[in-house]
Amino acid sequence: MDQDLASEDPETALAAVLALRRQATLLERRAVGQALGQGWTWAQVGQALGISAQAAHKKFARDLRGRPSG
């Protein structure tokens, strides 16, 4: 994928950016779910991500609701 990001073809480079963004989003959601499953507060999650507790809750709570912890 590194070669794709360095590609001189904008379509290839942008496709690589999109793939990275999707992977980062998935990783972030999993990490937040794991943290909450281990008893972290929204304030702790927010602090770790550099955002407020309210912003963290707004961004992730709906996706994680009803999801088994751990």
Q: Do the beta carbons of residue 34 and residue 27 sit within 8 Å?
A: no
Q: Is residue 69 part of a domain?
A: no
Does 4 score more than 80 pLDDT? no
DSSP string computed for 3-67: HHHT-SSHHHHHHHHHHHHHHHHHHHHHHHHHHHHTT--HHHHHHHHTS-HHHHHHHHHHHHTTP
pLDDT digits (tens, 9 = 90+) for 18-56: 999 999 999 999 999 999 999 999 999 999 999 999 999
- Give the confidence band of 70 by pLDDT, cuts at 50, 70, 90: very low
Confidence at residue 18, expressed as pLDDT on a 0 to 100 scale: 96
Does 65 score more than 90 pLDDT? no
Does 57 score more than 90 pLDDT? yes
Domain span including residue 9:
2-64
Question: What's the gap between Cα 12 and its chain centre?
Answer: 23
User: Which amino acid is residue 70, in one-letter code?
Assistant: G
The structural domain count of the chain equals: 1
Q: Is residue 15 part of a domain?
A: yes
